[in-house]
Amino acid sequence: MLSVLADRTYRHLFAAQVIALVGTGLLTVALGLLAYRLAGADAGAVLGTALAIKMVAYVLVAPVAQAFVGRLPRRAFLVATDLVRACVALMLPFIDQAWQVYVLVAVLQSASAAFTPAFQATIPDILPDERDYTRALSLSRLAYDLENLLSPALAALLLTAIDFHGLFAGTVVGFLCSAALVLTTTLPTPKAPVRRTGIYDRTTRGLRICLATPRLRGLLALNLAAAAAGAMVIVNTVVIVQAVLNRPQDDVALALGLFGGGSMVAALILPRVLDRLSDRTVMIVSSALLGVVLLGFAGGSRHGVGWVALLGTWLVLGIGYSAAQTPTGRLLRRSASPEDRPALFAAQFALSHAAWLATYPLAGWLGATVGMATTSAVLGCITLAAVAAALLLWPSDDPETVEHAHSDLDASHPHLVAARGRRHAHAFVIDDLHHHWPSGRPG
């Protein structure tokens, strides 16, 4: 997996990602402490609102931002968003009203919503080989999981020596270092689109590619499956550990750590698995595992939740979640031309977070009203229903090269001349010349 770090450009971008993630992790802890300082016992409401703002920003801002990215230098764009995030983190320690938290979080998360898809869309151009790109995806997944495990521990260590305001300084340093590393790279610029009809076309292009490509329609369903299972863990772990099992706060971190540890295990073994199995097989089987485990946990919970059972369940859910999500970048890469990748990555970023925006409150509301067993059962059923939808939407025969015909182009069109005829076959993606998937063939 580490062999991809031999590429200097990717190595610097990966280092920038890791450092920015550490800064984000420190920011998460610092925001919680800031919310408590501002709102006391109502800190949960402040953080819940901030989380909702984050998700709304991800859903709405990412596609709009990518409508302009293709017309801006990639490196300058990534650096600018890092600098915006650094400026927001620098201002957070000086606020004294909850509404100021909401405004600054909206700005910061809007910058993140612009940065992340642009960053993700750059990697396939740097690592064009499929095996290298697969390893980069697993390495990125591993970085996210390590951040979830290590950032809280680092924050706790720092808090023994400094006030929580110092964590914001660490966040600022993280974003500035990320910007500096991006500046040391030379990023490839994708070919400019042949034609666009305006801001609406650019904003909705990624969504239209998703809806027109069968494998990506299946991915939309799997996004919901992953979000339903993930929401059970993220929203309800603290309630199960402390309210149901009456265990100390440290055990909340341990349970979440098992989920992250399972995700890391999957990230480490996935490159070899994906060398042997298709993306579809791995993602659907892993998503189905999430649903089965949730239903099993629901059945066991009706007779009382056991601590060891919870840890084992969360470990397996972490493995299934990572295995279901990590190959996503491979699907996006093969489903769009290089110039359309930023729009497609932005659409996936927005749509996947829309699933979280729906499942976060559902998991919380169900947990508070009907209990954890029923909540796990409902989310498990949603997960399996999403898997069933993915099986219907994403056909098992999924070739990259698809034979098709162009009845709408003049025989002298350069595309037909290069392909030597109206009916031909090539790696098929939705673009300006291919508006619909060939009927009767999978995507």
For the segment 261-275, the average pLDDT, to the nearest whole number, is 87
Q: Could you tell me if 31 and 56 lie in one domain?
A: yes
pLDDT at res. 442: 44
**Sorting pLDDT into bands at 50, 70 and 90, what band is 162?**
confident
Same domain, 255 and 328: yes
Q: Cα–Cα distances in Å, from 88 out to 108, 164, 287, 288?
A: 6, 16, 37, 40
Q: For the residues 56-73, what does the mean pLDDT come to?
A: 74
Same domain flag for 127 and 244: no
Confidence of residue 443 (pLDDT cuts 50, 70, 90): very low
Residues 381 and 232 in one domain: yes
Q: What secondary structure does DSSP assign to 359-411, as a single string?
A: HHHHHHHHHHHT-HHHHHHHHHHHHHHHHHHHHHHS-S---SEEEEE-SSS-T
Helix axes 307-325, 130-159, angle to 10 degrees: 140
Question: 189, 220, 243: which is the final residue of a domain?
Answer: 189
Residue-wise pLDDT for 281-293, tens only, equals 999 999 999 999 9
Kindly report the backbone phi and psi dihedral angles of residue 135, in degrees, each rounded to the nearest multiple of 5, phi listed first. Answer: -65, -35
The string of pLDDT tens digits covering residues 24-53 is 777 766 776 777 677 765 655 666 677 778
d(C-alpha 321, C-alpha 275), whole Å: 19
> How long a stretch of residues is the chain?
443
**Using an 8 Å Cβ cutoff, are 7 and 116 in contact?**
no
Residue 369 and residue 430 in one domain:
no
The answer to whether residue 128 scores a pLDDT higher than 60 is yes
- pLDDT tens digits for range 73-123: 888 889 999 999 999 989 988 888 888 888 888 898 888 888 887 787 788
Q: Which residues contact 276 (CB under 8 A, 6 or more apart)?
A: none
pLDDT beyond 90 at 23: no
- From the number of C-beta atoms within 10 Å of its C-beta (0-12, 13-18, 19+), residue 311 rates as middle
pLDDT-above-90 percentage for the chain? 24
Return the sign of the alpha-carbon dihedral for residues 361, 362, 368, 371: negative
Mean pLDDT of 245-259: 79
pLDDT (0 to 100) of residue 141? 66
Query: What was the pLDDT predicted at 68?
Result: 67
Give pLDDT, residue 149.
56
Domain identity same for 218 and 73: no
- What is the residue type of 70? G
Q: pLDDT band at 280, cuts 50/70/90?
A: very high
DSSP H helical ranges for 277-371? 279-301, 307-325, 328-334, 341-369
Give the pair of three-digit tokens for residue 111: 């910058």
Cα separation values, 17 from 22, 142, 244, 325, Å: 9, 12, 37, 18
Where in the sequence is the domain holding 9, given as residue range(s)?
A: 1-189
Q: How is residue 373 written in tokens?
A: 């067993």
Question: What letters, b where the CB count within 10 A reaches 16 and e where it falls short, cover 84-103?
Answer: bbbebbeebbeeeebeebee
Structure tokens at 163: 């006030």
CB 138 within 8 A of CB 1: yes
- Residue written as tokens 């680092």? 154
Name residue 425's beta-bridge partners. Answer: 403
User: Distance between CA 224 and CA 262 in Å, rounded?
Assistant: 20
Residues 6+ apart with CB under 8 A from 56: 357
- 177 and 103, same structural domain? yes
pLDDT of residue 436: 84
Domain count, the chain: 3
Q: How many CA atoms within 13 Å lie on the side-chain side of 175?
A: 26
How far from each other are the two terminal CA atoms of the chain, in whole angstroms?
28
Domain end residue (candidates: 170, 189, 208) = 189
Whole-number Å distance between alpha carbons of 218 and 399: 15
Tokens of 245: 């099992």
**Final residue of a domain: which of 162, 189, 216?**
189
Confidence of residue 391 (pLDDT cuts 50, 70, 90): very high
**Angle (nearest 5°) at CA 251 between 151 and 247:** 150
431 and 329 assigned to the same domain: no
Lowest mean pLDDT among 105-109, 182-186, 212-216, 245-249: 245-249
Kind plus residue range of the DSSP H or E element containing 423 = strand 423-427
Helix %, strand %, coil % of the chain (to 5)? 80, 0, 20
User: Helix or strand or coil: residue 64?
Assistant: helix
Is the Cβ–Cβ distance between 12 and 181 less than 8 Å? Answer: yes
pLDDT at 143 exceeding the cut of 60: yes
The CATH number of residue 155's host domain is: 1.20.1250.20
The pLDDT tens digits for 313-364 are 999 999 999 999 888 988 988 898 887 887 888 788 888 888 988 888 888 8
Closest of 30, 71, 46 to residue 164, by C-alpha: 30
Cβ pair 324, 48 in contact under 8 A: no
Mean pLDDT in the chain? Answer: 83
Tell me the pLDDT band of 169, cut-offs 50, 70 and 90.
confident
Q: Which amino acid is at 190?
A: P
Residues 311 and 421 in one domain: no
The secondary structure of residue 241, as a DSSP letter, is: I
212 with 236, same domain?
yes
Q: Are residues 18 and 159 in the same domain?
A: yes
Are 147 and 240 in the same domain? no
